[in-house]
Structures are given as structure tokens and as C-alpha cells.
């Protein structure tokens, strides 16, 4: 995965297993904090890399740009990513761009949330929920 340094804006390659860890920028050596924003996933390979390689639970937000409830869920998803930074990873999957991933999880309505641990689904919940509920799922999964 590619992460941008907050200090020098250089791009750093970070393995999925270390997205929840603190590190250093390869260029300026400034601290590279754990991922604290939802990570947009654009292909099957990236989805598989994060969900199977992460050392912490992963919350998957299946959404689409045209979906009103998905837009309402976005700030809640962002908030849980910030609150559990270093303890969980939050990814966003656009069902219009990756319909095969959505199909693999039987996503029939959006928003739809999946919690994964060690590459396996431990919970799935369709519908709008708040950040407290998402955080509770991740904590239950080991965050």
C-alpha cells in the first residue's frame, strides 16, 4: 500500500501488515503514524492484501457514490478509523468499481459493513450504524 508522508509528501510503500504501525518516512525520516483515515480500495489485489495481511481487525465499508445513507455513514466511518488508529484498519470498497468483491460477500444493500480478522469474515451488517457500533464490532474482534 502507498502512504503519503504528512511532512514531506513523499510516497512510502507500507506492507498491509504494518498499516496499523508507526514508522518513518523513507525520505525525510519523519514519523509516519498508523493509518487513521479510511483507505479507499480500488482493486481485488489491494482488498486481498489488506484483509489477509493486516495484523489487526479490518472494517470494510461497502458503499456507492449515489447512495444517500452511504454519504451519511461516511463521517461515522471516518471517526471510527481515527478513534481506533493503530488498533484497526478501515477500508472503503465502492461497489460500482468492485462489484465482484461485493458479490463475494453477498452485499445486497448498502451501506454494508464487514469486519474481518486474519482474512476471515467475523461479522456482517447491512444498514446505517453509528461509529460506536462499528467500534464495538472491531473491539469484539480484537482491536
- Known catalytic residues are 67, 70
Give dist(CA 116, CA 94) in Å, integer: 17
| Contact in structure between 64 and 112 (CB atoms under 8 Å) | no
C-alpha torsion sign, points 4, 70, 100, 19: positive
Q: Write the Ramachandran bin of 29: left for phi over 0, alpha for psi from -120 to 50, otherwise beta.
A: left
Give strand pairing partners of 125: 113
Cβ neighbours of residue 38 closer than 8 Å, sequence gap 6 or more: 61, 77, 78, 81, 90, 91, 92
Residue 60, strand partner residues: 91, 114
Amino acid at each position: 500500500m502507498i502512504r503519503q508522508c504528512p511532512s514531506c509528501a513523499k510516497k512510502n510503500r507500507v506492507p498491509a501488515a504494518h498499516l496499523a504501525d508507526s514508522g518513518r518516512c523513507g525520505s525525510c525520516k519523519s514519523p509516519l503514524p498508523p493509518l487513521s483515515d479510511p483507505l479507499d480500495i480500488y482493486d481485488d489485489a489491494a482488498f486481498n492484501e489488506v484483509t489477509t495481511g493486516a495484523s489487526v481487525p479490518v472494517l470494510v465499508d461497502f458503499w456507492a457514490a449515489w447512495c444517500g445513507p452511504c454519504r451519511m455513514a461516511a463521517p461515522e466511518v471516518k471517526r471510527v478509523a481515527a478513534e481506533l488508529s493503530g488498533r484497526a484498519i478501515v477500508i472503503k470498497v465502492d461497489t460500482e468499481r468492485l462489484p465482484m468483491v461485493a458479490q463475494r460477500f453477498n452485499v445486497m444493500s448498502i451501506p454494508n459493513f464487514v469486519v474481518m480478522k486474519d482474512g476471515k469474515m467475523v461479522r456482517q451488517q447491512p444498514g446505517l450504524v453509528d461509529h460506536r457500533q462499528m467500534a464495538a464490532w472491531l473491539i469484539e474482534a480484537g482491536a
